[in-house]
């Protein structure tokens, strides 16, 4: 049976499961009129604004959870914000295969390929493995929570919208802009790193040419619309997954057969130079790197508003997280810890955080004596950089467009054309990539170090907010008299998984403060001076004051309040699936055991 959606704008729950549903809008109704006289006319028409929802603003209920949360006369209309997000004009053109591949390979990027090298140097192979297992587990818990929320509410802005709806509009404002800034800063950095990666083949090549090439490639893909983004990420993810699987097989062979001038490697590097480096502080510093490496998985939730069938696609995509963490991340991290000693000097040879020269994957292959495989691995890293840049434009443009729809960003960013593209947001966010030309200045390192500091801990706050939103949603769901069996998709680790993950993220944040106050001192350098310690401290934790400034300024200006549990809106934009679930449950009981196990895990 086709899934249904209920848009209920009143302050009370629907009286019965038989409430008349509003049919899901078809993506075919978003595009230009097929009866247009010519291709040029259709092209020009596609850039015009999409027609707004038929509901007028004076129809918004202002009772209960829809009351404007303001105490100083300024208006924040929660009902309008939730309704606009639920009825976004974004095109629903992402298919199941797009979402599956984004979930499987979307976050495989420079965090795994390059940043893991610095983490290996700081903490040693055992710390690296433990940190990735720990944060991978927490990320699995978080994705289960996000999956439950996204299937129930596949709305524009996803997790930033949930912060507004379930927590506090001011916190939603802070989280939305925090996430936007994170990817706006990532975009020029990845373009620069891509230009430097080409130096592996031709050190004398002009970086400006490649910066221009990558900039227009990334912007062009996003201007093709969400379907263009989905197809590009499908290809990029397929390449990355193939490369990681190939490295795992090659790494096992190298470990058993040994390097050209040696024999069996095994765990010899865990004995000399050792399994740990810099003690517990080394492990603490690796935790943040592990978090950064998993960043991007939440993109599945952000894409929910543009998925043709989120009920079918999202649960499967969320379940794939377990396999990606287990097969790709953990096995890869184990192998680079076996193949590359943590005192390998090339691990700190990166000119940028995404420089392929410091990739432990490349180093491991080079140490095996291969001549051609390092070139292939560098090409994969280059593709990963383009993929991250592509995702950066997508994530930042969709988030800022959703903020604008909620009146949390300038209204111009809410412009969505007839093909379902947030056109103004894409162009403005993509233009930030021109900062990549700063690479030609003498102070480019200093500039990007501070820009990265602004968003260094953004992922940690995003994931923690998702967990809090899940906890608050479950409480509101219970207060409204609903049962968990009425949810279309339930977190496999329940609400306790969100509590555990929230505790873990809070612990990592405190550990980051500790490492920032007392940084790891390199043995071959002079002790840090007081100005260097102060600078290092702010480079490590600048995200925290930036988020607090966003939150406090908006709260003072708008006077919003924390949303009470009984006032949380759990109806607007929710997909009403109770009848469908009951029929599906009866059919599942007849499945053989192997099919039930497969459905649960995959």
Q: What is the pLDDT of residue 392?
A: 92
Q: What is the pLDDT of residue 580?
A: 53
Q: Whose structure tokens read 């960003």?
A: 409
Tell me the C-alpha distance between 600 and 225, whole Å: 33
SS3 577: coil
Q: What is the pLDDT of residue 403?
A: 94
Cβ atoms 547, 178 nearer than 8 A: yes
Q: Does 4 map to a domain?
A: no
Cβ atoms 453, 288 nearer than 8 A: no
What percentage of the chain carries pLDDT values higher than 70? 81
Q: Which residue has the higher pLDDT, 406 or 26?
A: 406
Whole-model pTM?
Answer: 0.87
Nearest in space to 122 (alpha carbons), one of 378, 337, 374, 385: 337
How many other CB atoms are there within 10 angstroms of residue 272's CB atom? 8
Q: Which of 20-24, 118-122, 356-360, 550-554 has the highest mean pLDDT?
A: 550-554
Cβ atoms 143, 302 nearer than 8 A: no
Q: Which residue has the higher pLDDT, 2 or 536?
A: 536
The DSSP bridge partners found for residue 5 are 22
Tell me the C-alpha distance between 153 and 572, whole Å: 8
Distance of CA 283 to the CA centre of its chain: 24
Q: Does 373 map to a domain?
A: yes
Q: Does 214 map to a domain?
A: yes
Q: Which residue has the higher pLDDT, 349 or 104?
A: 104
Q: Inform me whether the pLDDT recorded for 575 exceeds 80.
A: no
Listed in sequence order, the residues at least 6 apart from 544 whose beta carbon sits closer than 8 Å to its beta carbon are: 457, 509
Q: Whose structure tokens read 């509101």?
A: 476
Sequence length of the chain is 602
Listed in sequence order, the residues at least 6 apart from 507 whose beta carbon sits closer than 8 Å to its beta carbon are: none
Which range is least confidently modeled, 51-65, 150-164, 377-391, 510-524?
A: 51-65
218-228, pLDDT tens digit by residue? 999 999 988 99
Nearest in space to 196 (alpha carbons), one of 352, 41, 6: 352
167-199, pLDDT tens digit by residue? 999 999 999 999 999 999 989 988 988 888 888
Q: What is the pLDDT of residue 47?
A: 61
Q: What is the pLDDT of residue 193?
A: 85
Q: Does 16 map to a domain?
A: no
Q: What is the pLDDT of residue 395?
A: 93
144-158, pLDDT tens digit by residue? 999 999 998 988 888
Tell me the C-alpha distance between 517 and 535, whole Å: 10
Cβ atoms 430, 218 nearer than 8 A: yes
Q: What is the pLDDT of residue 24?
A: 46
Cβ atoms 188, 435 nearer than 8 A: yes
Q: What is the pLDDT of residue 449?
A: 79
Between the alpha carbon of residue 90 and those of residues 94, 178, 226, 479, the distances in Å are: 11, 22, 9, 32
Q: What is the pLDDT of residue 602?
A: 61
Cβ atoms 314, 300 nearer than 8 A: yes
Q: Does 45 map to a domain?
A: no
Q: Inform me whether the pLDDT recorded for 499 exceeds 80.
A: yes
Which range is least confidently modeled, 80-84, 333-337, 402-406, 499-503?
A: 80-84
Phi-psi region of 526 (alpha: psi -120 to 50; beta: other; left: phi over 0): beta
The range of the structural domain enclosing residue 505 comes to: 56-479+490-518+533-601
Q: Whose structure tokens read 């629903």?
A: 92
Q: What is the mean pLDDT of residues 480-507?
A: 91
Cβ atoms 486, 581 nearer than 8 A: yes
Q: Does 43 map to a domain?
A: no
SS3 91: coil
Between the alpha carbon of residue 69 and those of residues 477, 560, 563, 575, the distances in Å are: 21, 5, 8, 25
Q: What is the mean pLDDT of residues 265-272?
A: 90
Listed in sequence order, the residues at least 6 apart from 40 whose beta carbon sits closer than 8 Å to its beta carbon are: none
The single-letter DSSP state of residue 329 is I
The DSSP bridge partners found for residue 94 are 307
Confidence of residue 40 (pLDDT cuts 50, 70, 90): low
CA dihedral 577, 583, 584, 590 (to 10 degrees): 170
Q: What is the pLDDT of residue 530?
A: 85
Tell me the C-alpha distance between 275 and 267, whole Å: 9
Which range is least confidently modeled, 167-171, 305-309, 509-513?
A: 305-309
Q: Inform me whether the pLDDT recorded for 9 exceeds 70.
A: no
Q: Which residue has the higher pLDDT, 518 or 369?
A: 518
Would you tell me the crossing angle of helices 458-479 and 159-166 to the nearest 10 degrees? 50
Cβ atoms 385, 193 nearer than 8 A: yes
Contacts of residues 526-532 at CB distance under 8 Å and 24 or more positions apart, as own/partner, are none
Cβ atoms 355, 114 nearer than 8 A: yes
Tell me the C-alpha distance between 318 and 602, whole Å: 9
- If one counts the domains in the chain, the total is 1
Nearest in space to 8 (alpha carbons), one of 60, 73, 77: 60
Confidence of residue 583 (pLDDT cuts 50, 70, 90): low
Q: Does 38 map to a domain?
A: no
Angle of CA points 236, 454, 330, to nearest 5°: 45
Q: Does 8 map to a domain?
A: no
For 12-45, letters b (16+ CB in 10 Å) and e give: eeeeeeeeebeebeebeebbbeeeeeeeeebeee
Q: Inform me whether the pLDDT recorded for 576 exceeds 70.
A: no
What is the average pLDDT score of the chain?
Answer: 81
Q: How far apart are the first and last CA of the chain?
A: 21
SS3 417: strand
Q: What is the pLDDT of residue 447?
A: 78
Confidence of residue 3 (pLDDT cuts 50, 70, 90): very low
Q: What is the pLDDT of residue 12?
A: 35
Q: Inform me whether the pLDDT recorded for 15 exceeds 70.
A: no
Q: What is the mean pLDDT of residues 355-362?
A: 76
372-428, pLDDT tens digit by residue? 888 888 899 899 989 999 999 999 999 999 999 998 999 999 999 888 889 999 999
The DSSP bridge partners found for residue 49 are 417
Q: Is the peptide bond before 273 cis (omega within 30 degrees of 0)?
A: yes
Q: Inform me whether the pLDDT recorded for 544 exceeds 90.
A: yes
Which H or E element spans position 140? Answer: helix 116-152
* CATH number of domain containing 571: 1.20.1740.10
Q: Inform me whether the pLDDT recorded for 13 exceeds 50.
A: no
Sign (positive or negative) of CA dihedral 551, 556, 558, 562? positive
Cβ atoms 151, 507 nearer than 8 A: no
Confidence of residue 59 (pLDDT cuts 50, 70, 90): very low
Residue 412 burial by CB count (10 A; 0-12/13-18/19+): exposed, middle or buried? Answer: exposed
Q: What is the pLDDT of residue 599?
A: 66
Q: What is the mean pLDDT of residues 263-282?
A: 89
- Phi and psi of 417, rounded to 5°? -85, 180
Q: Which residue has the higher pLDDT, 205 or 2?
A: 205
Contacts of residues 434-441 at CB distance under 8 Å and 24 or more positions apart, as own/partner, are 434/188, 434/215, 435/187, 435/188, 436/188, 436/189, 436/191, 436/192, 436/195, 436/211, 436/214, 436/215, 437/208, 437/211, 438/188, 439/192, 439/195, 439/207, 439/211, 440/207, 440/208
Tell me the C-alpha distance between 453 and 421, whole Å: 30
Q: What is the mean pLDDT of residues 28-45?
A: 55
């Amino acid at each position: 049976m086709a899934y249904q959606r209920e848009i209920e704008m009143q302050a009370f729950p629907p009286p019965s499961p038989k409430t008349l549903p509003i049919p899901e809008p078809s993506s075919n109704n978003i595009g230009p009129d097929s009866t247009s006289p010519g291709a040029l006319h259709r092209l020009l028409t596609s850039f015009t604004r999409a027609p707004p929802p038929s509901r007028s603003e004076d129809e918004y209920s202002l009772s209960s959870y829809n009351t404007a949360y303001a105490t100083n006369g300024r208006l924040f209309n929660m009902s309008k914000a939730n309704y606009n997000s639920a009825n976004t004009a974004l095109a629903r053109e992402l298919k199941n295969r797009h979402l599956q591949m984004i979930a499987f390979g979307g976050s495989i990027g420079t965090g795994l390929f390059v940043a893991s090298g610095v983490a290996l140097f700081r903490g040693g192979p055992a710390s690296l493995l433990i940190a990735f297992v720990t944060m991978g587990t927490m990320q699995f818990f978080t994705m289960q929570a996000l999956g439950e929320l996204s299937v129930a509410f596949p709305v524009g802005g996803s997790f930033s919208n949930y912060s507004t709806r379930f927590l506090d509009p001011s916190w939603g404002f802070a989280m939305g802009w925090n996430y936007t800034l994170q990817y706006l800063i990532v975009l020029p950095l990845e373009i620069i790193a891509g230009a430097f990666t080409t130096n592996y083949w031709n050190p004398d090549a002009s970086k400006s040419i490649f910066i221009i090439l990558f900039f227009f490639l990334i912007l062009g893909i996003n201007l093709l619309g969400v379907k263009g983004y989905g197809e590009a990420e499908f290809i990029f993810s397929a390449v990355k997954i193939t490369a990681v699987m190939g490295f795992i097989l090659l790494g096992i062979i190298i470990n058993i057969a040994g390097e050209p001038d040696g024999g069996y490697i095994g765990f010899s590097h865990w004995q000399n130079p050792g399994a740990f480096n810099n003690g517990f502080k080394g492990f603490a510093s690796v935790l943040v790197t592990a978090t950064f490496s998993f960043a991007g998985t939440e993109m599945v939730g952000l894409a929910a508003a543009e998925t043709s069938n989120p009920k079918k696609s999202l649960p499967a995509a969320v379940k794939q997280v377990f396999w990606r963490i287990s097969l790709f991340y953990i096995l890869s991290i184990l192998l680079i810890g076996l193949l590359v000693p943590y005192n390998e000097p090339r691990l700190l040879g990166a000119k940028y955080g995404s420089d392929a020269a410091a990739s432990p994957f490349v180093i491991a292959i080079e140490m095996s004596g291969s001549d051609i495989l390092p070139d292939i691995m560098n090409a994969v890293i280059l593709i990963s950089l383009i993929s991250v840049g592509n995702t950066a434009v997508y994530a930042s443009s969709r988030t800022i467009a959703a903020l604008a729809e909620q009146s949390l960003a300038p209204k111009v960013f809410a412009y969505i054309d007839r093909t379902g593209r947030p056109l103004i947001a894409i162009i403005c966010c993509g233009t930030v990539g021109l900062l990549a030309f700063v690479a030609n200045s003498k102070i480019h390192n200093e500039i990007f170090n501070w820009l990265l500091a602004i968003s260094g801990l953004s992922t940690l706050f995003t994931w923690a907010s998702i967990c809090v939103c899940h906890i608050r949603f479950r409480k509101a769901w219970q207060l409204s008299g609903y049962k968990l069996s009425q949810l279309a998709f339930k977190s496999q680790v329940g609400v306790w998984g969100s509590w555990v993950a929230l505790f873990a993220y809070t612990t990592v944040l405190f550990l980051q403060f500790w490492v920032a106050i007392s940084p790891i001192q390199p043995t071959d350098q002079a002790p840090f001076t007081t100005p260097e310690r102060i600078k290092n401290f702010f480079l490590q934790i600048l995200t925290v004051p930036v988020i607090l400034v966003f939150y406090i300024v908006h709260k003072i200006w708008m006077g919003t309040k924390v949303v009470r549990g009984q006032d949380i809106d759990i109806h607007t934009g929710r997909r009403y699936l109770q009848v469908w679930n009951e029929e599906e449950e009866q059919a599942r009981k007849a499945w053989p055991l192997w099919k039930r196990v497969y459905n649960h895990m995959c």
